[in-house]
Amino acid sequence: MAVISTYSLKPFNEKIKDEELLHLLRRCLFGVGHKDLTFYKGKTLSQCLTALLTPSPTPPPAREELSDGVDLNPAIKVGGTWVHEAFENEEVNYRRKLMFRMWWTGLILNRDFSLTEKMTLFWHNHFVTETDVVKDSRYSYFYAAMLREHALGNFKKLIREGTTCPAMLVYLGGNTNFKSAPNENYGRELMELFTLGKGYGVQYTEDDVKAAARVLTGWHDDKEKSTGVFDPAQHETADKHFSSFFGNTVIRGRTGPDGANEADDLMDMIFSKKETARYVCRNIYRWFVYAHVDDRIENEIIHPLADIYIRNNFEIIPVLRILLGSEHFFDPVFRGCIVKSSADFLLGSTMEIGVTVYLAPDKTYTNLVDCHEPWLQYHLTCEDLAMRIGDPPSVSGWPAYYQAPKYHQWWINSASLSMRKKITDGLSTHDGLIFNGYSISFDFLNYAKQFQNPENRDGFIQQVTDLLFAVPPSKSLLDHLRGLLVSGMETDYYWEKAWKKLVEHPDDKETEEVLNARLRMFFAKLLSLPEYHMM
Amino acid sequence: MNRKAFIRNSAIITSMYPLLNAMQACQVKKIGSSKKIIIFIQLLGGNDGLHTLIPLSNYRRLTELRPNIYLPENKILPLRGTSDTGLHPALGGIKDMYDNGLAGFIQGVGYEKPNFSHFRSSDIWLTGSEPSKVLYTGWMARYLETKFKNYPDGFPSHKQPDPPAIKIGDTGTFLFQGGVMDMSIVINPAIPFGSSGSEAEEEVSYSFGAEEVKTIREILLQTDRYAGRVKKALNAPFSSSKLYPKTGVNILADQLKVVSKLINGGLETSVYVVDLKGFDTHVEQVTASDKTKGIHADLLGKLSQAITCFWDDVVHMGREEDIAGMTFSEFGRRIVSTSGLGTDHGSSQPIIYFGGNINSQLIGKNPVIPDKVTVDDNLAMQHDFRSVYASILRQWFKAPDDVVKSVLQGDFHDLSIFNS
């Protein structure tokens, strides 16, 4: 039985081995492809972390992508953004919600070398809104843009801003939180799910929830400006008294527009509790390292990380730098111990191997950057795999990150595994997965070409499995699969010959197809192995 | 336009897959299902036809062109009703089946403009493509897709509870590669069914991941929609023919043994592929001291033995009328032998077929060996390989003409292989 051998947060070796680098990248990116490895290989651990912790540039806003439909707003053309424009009716809003979701999925599919997308999704899971509950496509867009802006930034700022962002005001009833009839929903989730958590010595009271709700009375969403606005007339101006857990804090009632600032006081109080930092660090740990946090991890990893978090006034980068660069993180016991989320599996495999999008009749794209419609298809497929980005199943996020003792095994059941196999099988066929006017298929030949000496069959298989698998498939299994590359021939000679021919005649379609046919069958099997579900 | 109409109208907004249908629990049907079954025996590497089905009428030419490998005339097995054609001495079992009306041969099967690449030529054979055209699906998969519409959605079903196709051996085959996915399941006789044959758990025991992989493997096994049926069929009581050699001696016999178990167990799968490696006999096809021995003789011996044992099982099951089999290879071999006691890649080849409901005959004539032969010359083709496929589809599976034409992407006449 595997055991953890180090609980140290001390920096790990600066010179990291390939398998250690891959471990780091698998956890931080969605899939690891040749491009990623090329970028990171040769860097020291510090350099790797610096690159990972460099925020991606702010992406262009969500746009009108679907040429088949029409946004009724004449200001909006295909390719133009709609995020600042009112929508006329629910149909338009519905289309925009789809475009919002495909925008998000597209950002992941076009990720760079930064941790930004992984952390954006982390905050989405941590600080949930659901697009279909929020209902206003613009609100959800601004919510997601906010998560991305703060993804590698300051958590306290994120929560403060998010508390009064229109999406959250709608999602958890902040906009119906009036002086005359406070709505406790947000106050409760703020403490229980977004900041303090439950258990681990957290002892806020029901009255604290009510007091927090009263602090936030008067906020509501503004349809015109797509922001949260403060209405002093609806604000409870009396003092708010908190329990001994908060040191009997009193948030003084403020009147007029100044009432809005009570939200800041509330944040100060909640963020003064070390439990908040610990709760977030625990969730970070589960996201990046391992689901199961025992007492020793709590004391020797989570608590010190929380102290760093507090010392850095809730900037996340120093915490991530310590955790992802620690001896503990690189303990081999954690290599390949996380079951891939649906996004990690679906978007990750696409990022790893690369796909070709064929547009009917003969137009070919080599990547997903220029062809936007597949982004929506990826979004919907991820949804079929129980991960609807933009709409987690509840305010608690995906059960994979909180539901003990199953945690990440939540992704895995007979339906999802069948579906995962169908998807990788489909992407592994020549025709790929076919949609209206285009198809998507893995580009195995291009992937294979980027390995060193792919004509050396065993060397090729070794490199492929090193790159694709966090838990290596067994040698005996690979011994069976290797035959697929040579159609059961007993020698490598013909495999080598085909590659040589391709080098000599790079445009020879027949040779390409001879290699592709074998690669397709080989990879379809590899990608359906149980080991491929681990990262 | 309401939202539902919008979803319907915009074809983009359909997800890749609807949720899988709930799996149906199916009971193994009563033994004695009468569906037609065909078993393809793929001889990997390119089988030397002139050294398998020997054109005795050309015997003298063989001794000239293949001086170092030709078989002694007195060792060649005679065939019922002809003195022109004989069999390699290792094919005694096949000879007996032929003489008893249970086997037949098709001479000179191939395609125009032969391709000498193993990979390309086997792809041509397995996809059933025009030699100049690349196809991406197996010809049998294209036929099975007409029988298992929308596969894998809705399968297994009450009416079609079993896998469309089964490959026995290490790996899958292009023959069963459909447009959407591989339509076969692969059963490796060397590994207990359902296990991965994997030591992954031990190899990665340093990681918590090993435990998770075990869990996933267990779920995957439950997910394998055919696992229950296959397991049940494999475990159904059956005493295999006493003729089989010990496990591991004849890998083809081991594979066919699994096929007969599955058939006996009630599986309604209609297409199986088994294979035998090693026919790429550039050198040492025969031994120098005894040309009836060597790699090729060993392989043909295994082929003959395996089919004989398998047929004994078929007779024991009383399924002679429903079961047929056929060999094929990616190509035959060159007319002129190599100096290394072997042969290079060639073109057309003879096919051996067998069954209880076949026309036991020699279809076609002995290959014509031209007067002047160089090391590059090859045997002319007599029968397009797709005529063999057309015969299987029309005569054996009773496929309608339009289906046959669409599966084979052309119009190919039948050969008289099966009784109709």
DSSP H stretches of helix in A394-532: 414-427, 444-449, 457-468, 475-481, 493-504, 509-527
Torsional sign, CA A506, A509, A513, A516: positive
User: Across residues A201-211, what is the average pLDDT?
Assistant: 96
B11 close contact with A: CB closer than 8 A: yes
Residue B185, classed as helix, strand or coil, is strand
For range A389-411, the mean pLDDT: 94
The pLDDT value given to residue B201: 43
Which pair of tokens denotes residue B6? 């919008």
So where are chain A's domains? 18-53+275-334, 447-533
3-state SS string over B315-345?
A: HHHCCCCCEEEEEEECCCEEEEECCCCCEEE
More confident residue, A534 or A372: A534
User: Residue by residue, what is the 3-state secondary structure of A292-307?
Assistant: CCCHHHHHHHHHHHHH
Q: What is the mean pLDDT of chain B?
A: 89
Q: Which residues in chain B are closer than 8 Å to A429, comparing Cβ atoms? A: 136, 177-181
Of A214-228, B178-192, B275-289, B368-382, the least confident: B178-192
Q: Which residues of A touch B220 (CB under 8 A)?
A: 417, 530
Share of chain A above pLDDT 90, in %: 84
- Is residue A3 within 8 A of residue A333, CB to CB? The reply is yes
Q: What is the pLDDT of residue A149?
A: 98
pLDDT at B1 over 50: no
Q: Please give the DSSP secondary-structure letter assigned to residue A490.
A: S
DSSP A193: I
Q: Which residues of B touch A90 (CB under 8 A)?
A: 3
Residue B22 predicted with pLDDT over 90: no
Neighbours of B32 (CB within 10 A): 11
pTM equals: 0.87
Q: What are phi and psi of A255, to 5 degrees?
A: -115, 165
Residues on chain A touching B211 (C-beta within 8 angstroms): 2
CA distance B328 to chain A (A): 14
Q: Compare CB distances from B220 to A334, A517, A530 and report the shortest one's residue.
A: A530
Q: For residue range B100-133, what is the model confidence (pLDDT) as tens digits?
A: 999 999 999 999 999 999 999 999 999 999 999 9
Going by C-alpha positions, the residue among A266, A256, A280 that lies closest to residue A210 is: A266
Cα–Cα dist A220/B340, whole Å: 89
From chain B, pick out residues whose CB is under 8 angstroms from the CB of A480.
170-171, 188, 197
Q: Report the percentage of chain A scoring pLDDT > 70.
A: 97
Statement: residue A364 has pLDDT above 50 = yes
Gap from A128 CA to chain B (nearest CA, Å)? 24
Is the CB of residue B24 less than 8 Å from the CB of residue B158? yes
Which of B41, B113, B199, B207 has the highest number of chain A CBs within 10 A, making it the mutation to test binding with A?
B207
Burial class for A79, CB neighbours closer than 10 Å (0-12, 13-18, 19+): exposed
Query: Which of B4, B119, B183, B280 would best serve as a mutation to test chain A binding (most A beta carbons within 10 A)?
Result: B119
More confident residue, B168 or B202: B168
Residue A336 and residue A413 in contact, taking contact as beta carbons nearer than 8 Å: no
Query: A470, B134: Cβ pair inside 8 Å?
Result: no
Average pLDDT over residues B11-19: 37
Least confident of A355-369, B177-191, B341-355, B374-388: A355-369
CB contact under 8 A, A517 and B44: no
Region B63-72 average pLDDT: 96
What is the complex's ipTM, to 2 decimals?
0.88
- Give B5's pLDDT tier (boundaries 50, 70, 90): very low
Torsion from C-alpha of A227, A232, A235, A241, nearest 10 degrees: 100
CB-based contact, B402 to chain A, within 8 Å? no
Q: Do B211 and A2 touch (CB under 8 A)?
A: yes
Radius of gyration of chain A (CA): 25
Q: For residue A380, what is the nearest residue in chain B, using CA coordinates?
A: B15
Whole-number Å distance between alpha carbons of B76 and B69: 13
pLDDT digits (tens, 9 = 90+) for B27-46: 333 343 458 999 999 999 99
Which of A401-405, B168-172, B257-261, B338-342 is least confident?
A: B168-172
Average pLDDT (A150-166) is 98
Q: Establish if B117 touches chain A: CB-CB under 8 angstroms.
A: yes
Residue pair A50/A325 in contact (Cβ under 8 Å)? The answer is no
**Chain A CB within 8 Å of residue B136 CB:** yes
pLDDT number for residue B39: 98
Task: Give me the residues of B, 12-41, that contact A with CB < 8 A.
Answer: 12-17, 19-20, 23
pLDDT (tens digit, 9 = 90+) per residue, B149-164?
999 889 999 999 999 9
With 0-12 / 13-18 / 19 or more C-beta atoms within 10 angstroms meaning exposed / middle / buried, residue B184 is buried
What is the number of CB-based contacts under 8 A between chain A and chain B?
221
- List helix spans (H) across B155-223: 200-203, 209-223
What integer is the mean pLDDT of A362-368? 62
Which of A8-17, A78-87, B277-286, B362-371 comes out lowest in average pLDDT?
A78-87
Min mean pLDDT across A279-283, A477-481, B18-22 is at B18-22
pLDDT value at residue A363: 61
Work out the minimum CA distance from A236 to partner chain B, whole angstroms. 41
- Cα–Cα distance for residue pair A448/A428, rounded to 1 Å: 14
Q: Answer whether A328's CB lies under 8 Å from A321's CB.
A: no
pLDDT band, residue A70 (cuts 50/70/90):
low
Half-sphere exposure of A379 (CA within 13 A, CB side): 24
Q: Which residues contact A268 (CB under 8 A, 6 or more apart)?
A: none
Assigned token pair, B2: 């309401």
Give the phi and the psi of residue A37 in degrees, each rounded to 5: -65, -45
A456 pairs with which residues across the strands? none
Bin B194: left if φ > 0, else alpha if -120 < ψ < 50, else beta.
left
Residues A336 and A468 sit within 8 Å (Cβ to Cβ): no
- Chain mean pLDDT for chain A: 94
Cα B393 from chain centroid?
15
Residues of chain B positioned with their CB less than 8 A from the CB of A473: 198, 200
Contacts of A530 in chain B (CB under 8 A): 196, 213, 216-217, 220
Confidence of residue B47 (pLDDT cuts 50, 70, 90): very high
User: Can you read off the two tokens belonging to residue B100?
Assistant: 């008893």
Task: Report the pLDDT value the prediction gives residue B197, as an integer from 0 to 100.
Answer: 53
Contact between A39 and A66 under an 8 Å Cβ cutoff? The reply is no
Phi, psi of B55 (to 5 degrees): -80, 90
Q: Which of B137, B197, B223 sits opposite A414 (nearest CB)?
A: B223
Return the ∠ at Cα A212 (arms to A211 and A216), rounded to 5°. Answer: 115
User: CB–CB of A409 and B20 under 8 A?
Assistant: no
CATH 3.40.720 describes domain B38-193+226-408? yes
Instruction: Pick B123's closest partner by Cβ from A423, A477, A514.
Output: A514
Q: Is the CB of A425 less than 8 angstroms away from the CB of B181?
A: yes
* Cβ within 8 Å, pair A498-B117: yes
Nearest residue on chain A to B185, judged by CA atoms? Answer: A525
How is residue B143 written in tokens?
């036929």
Tokens of B101: 């009306």
**pLDDT tens digits for A84-141?**
988 888 888 998 999 999 999 999 999 999 999 999 999 999 999 999 999 999 999 9
Report the distance separating Cα B195 and Cα B172, nearest Å. Answer: 17
CB A371 within 8 A of CB A359: yes
Q: Do B171 and A481 touch (CB under 8 A)?
A: yes
CA distances from B405 to B128, B134, B135, B383, B416 (A): 12, 17, 15, 17, 18
Short-list B278, B337, B361, B377, CA closest to B51: B337
Do residues A384 and B19 touch, judged by C-beta distance below 8 A?
A: yes
In this prediction, residues B349-358 reach a mean pLDDT of: 97
Transcribe A371-425 into DSSP letters. Answer: --HHHHHHHHHHHHTT--TT--SSTT--GGGTSTTTGGGGG-SHHHHHHHHHHHH
Pairing of strands B383-384, B77-79: unpaired
CB atoms within 10 A of CB A351: 22
Residue B6 has pLDDT above 60, yes or no: no
Domain boundaries, chain B: 38-193+226-408, 194-225
And the tokens for A451? 């390995």
Output the pLDDT for position A69: 60
- Judge: B219–A490 Cβ closer than 8 Å, yes or no: no
Q: Which residues of A touch B10 (CB under 8 A)?
A: 66, 68-69
